[in-house]
Amino acid sequence: MVSRVIPVEPFDLVIFGGTGDLARRKILPGLFRRYCAGQMPPEAQVIGAARSDMDDSGYRDFVRDAITEFAGPLSDECQQVDGFLDRVGYVTIDAQGEGGWAELKDRVRAELVHAYYFSVAPSLFGDIAERLHLHGLAGDDSRIVVEKPFGKDLDSARALNATLAKHFDEHQIYRIDHYLGKETVQNLMAVRFGNVLFEPLWNAQYVDHIQITVAETVGVGGRGGYYDTSGAMRDMVQNHLMQLLCLIAMEPPAKFEPDAVRDEKLKVIRALEPVEPHHIVRGQYDKTADAPGYRQDVENPRSFTESFLALKLHISNWRWAGTPFYLRTGKKLKARTSEIVVVFKDAPHSIFGADAGRHRNVLAIRLQPNEGMTLDVTIKEPGPGGMRLVDVPLDMTFADALGPEAEQATEAYERLIMDVIRGNQTLFMRGDEVEAAWAWTDPIIAGWTARSDVPKPYDQGGSGPEDSLMLMHRDGRRWRELKA
């Protein structure tokens, strides 16, 4: 299959924090891949901005190294990075000082699409927004891109939104959640709203329950200091899992347009019921003979922060009343996998008798690894011996179905950055969505803080605390096995 790449308009993209980890691992290699795909017009310009003292040539060396290390396997046409580097420059700027802004102003071409990526700590967002304004760099057409975390609770999220709103309208603010840039996540909308097959069954009458899992094999790594003030709820559930929940549960928007989609997502968040304490399981990975546990990793022997969280949720609306949603996420688990699993109800009556066993249709939407979908369908086991039923997966791995180009084009960051240049906010979170998610999250955290809840230790390389399995077993259900 030949992919269709539509070049975007000429643009200037300024990356504040252009020397940081996110720029190095994701943003710069992603831009290079778009250049290779022919999406970046010759006039496009990428400008790194940070405090480190460097000139254009020094920054190009930095970008070349980032590409070599993180851009992944490259096509033959793309072995030569110099063409891309010609479009890269650097300005030394302190977000909290005055030096460098005039030079940046000279470089940014106001008549082109221009976007500022705030790839810095959120505490600097206000300083950068203010200086962009003061130096005449923030026009009505400017766009800003901001990264999570969007606050640590409702109050701080409101404050952050208010800070940005001083100089930028909501239509200029692109809040990135890279989960929304994944091919499968968008395909989820195509599958739901582009086929007649699923939507009539997509409700409490036919869906027994839905599971959303984001499991990691790694621990907190070098982010221990930050993570210990955050935990799985703030780091993963309030944003990534919540966004997946919204897309799986929302009503069909009238159009695939930014506010139509985001209005529907917001309704889902607002319809979430408060979570009962016994529907929450928090865990911390335990130490082993050879590996430190969570508390050693974060260097806090009395930490009560969760590195694992499982929750049972209900959405109070006509579509979902009675269908539970089970969410789980954790570190140091046995597989790195992200998936949404829709488990349909049993057929209302079995004509095949008790020997045929119990069979269910299950739609599994895999975000990683091997993005794709499988639908388990019940069929007759081949061969003689009567009507024995078996569930077989109809497997749609995108690379198999559409060719390797489909897989190559799926890096979430590249797609989202190109959406910023196109001015399409559909896959970005709106300020009220973020605030609504915190409004739901805050009382849950306040509840376990007030109860002095202590997370349950769990084995590294397993499936999380035993209580998380019990959360399902009590309801006669079980988690889909974590598989790499």
Catalytic positions? 240
Burial class (CB in 10 A: 0-12, 13-18, 19+), 316: exposed
Nearer to ligand NAP, 164 or 342 (CB): 164
Nearer to ligand NAP, 53 or 77 (CB): 53
| Rounded Cα gap, residues 132 and 220, in angstroms | 34
CB of 21 to ligand NAP, least distance (A): 3
Nearer to ligand NAP, 120 or 261 (CB): 120
Q: How many CA atoms lie within 13 A of 118 on its CB side?
A: 28
| Rounded Cα gap, residues 148 and 176, in angstroms | 7
Q: Are 143 and 172 in contact (CB under 8 A)?
A: yes
CB of 228 to ligand NAP, least distance (A): 15
Give the full edge-to-edge strand order of the sheet including 88-92: 88-92, 45-50, 11-16, 113-118, 143-146, 173-175
Tell me the window of 88-96, 164-172, 289-297, 370-378 that interacts with ligand NAP (CB under 6 A).
88-96
Tell me the window of 20-28, 195-203, 292-300, 458-466 that interacts with ligand NAP (CB under 6 A).
20-28
Site for ligand NAP in 27-66 (CB under 6 A): 50-52
| Rounded Cα gap, residues 327 and 337, in angstroms | 13
Site for ligand NAP in 116-155 (CB under 6 A): 119-122, 124, 147-149
CB of 330 to ligand NAP, least distance (A): 18
Is the peptide bond preceding residue 301 cis, with omega within 30 degrees of 0?
Answer: no
Nearer to ligand NAP, 118 or 325 (CB): 118
Number of amino acids touching ligand NAP (CB under 6 A): 23
Nearer to ligand NAP, 94 or 263 (CB): 94
Buried b (16+ CB within 10 A) or exposed e, 363-377: bbbbbeeebbbbbbe
From residue 32, how far is each of 3, 104, 212 by CA, in Å? 17, 22, 32
CB of 188 to ligand NAP, least distance (A): 22
| Rounded Cα gap, residues 194 and 196, in angstroms | 7
CB of 126 to ligand NAP, least distance (A): 12
Nearer to ligand NAP, 52 or 397 (CB): 52
| Helix, strand, coil percentages, rounded to 5, for the chain | 40, 20, 40
Nearer to ligand NAP, 115 or 120 (CB): 120
Nearer to ligand NAP, 20 or 447 (CB): 20
Among 8, 12, 14, 19, binds ligand NAP (CB under 6 A): 19
| Rounded Cα gap, residues 363 and 365, in angstroms | 7
Tell me the window of 93-101, 163-171, 237-245, 462-470 that interacts with ligand NAP (CB under 6 A).
93-101
∠ CA 426-158-26 to the nearest 5 degrees? 50
Interface with ligand NAP includes 94 (CB under 6 A)? yes
Number of separate helices (H) and strands (E) present in the chain: 18, 15
Q: Are 298 and 447 in contact (CB under 8 A)?
A: no
Give the full edge-to-edge strand order of the sheet including 325-330: 389-397, 372-380, 362-368, 337-344, 207-215, 325-330, 308-313, 280-285, 456-458
Q: Are 135 and 105 in contact (CB under 8 A)?
A: yes
Buried b (16+ CB within 10 A) or exposed e, 178-191: bbbbbbbbbbbbeb
Nearer to ligand NAP, 46 or 249 (CB): 46
CB of 175 to ligand NAP, least distance (A): 11
Among 7, 10, 20, 41, binds ligand NAP (CB under 6 A): 20
CB of 53 to ligand NAP, least distance (A): 8
CB of 62 to ligand NAP, least distance (A): 10
∠ CA 349-354-356 to the nearest 5 degrees? 90
Structure token pair of residue 347: 């057929």
CB of 245 to ligand NAP, least distance (A): 20
Among 13, 93, 420, 429, binds ligand NAP (CB under 6 A): 93
Q: Tell me the angle at which helices 28-36 and 412-422 cross, rounded to the nearest 10 degrees.
A: 80
- For ligand NAP, the binding residues (CB under 6 A) are 16-23, 50-52, 93-96, 119-122, 124, 147-149
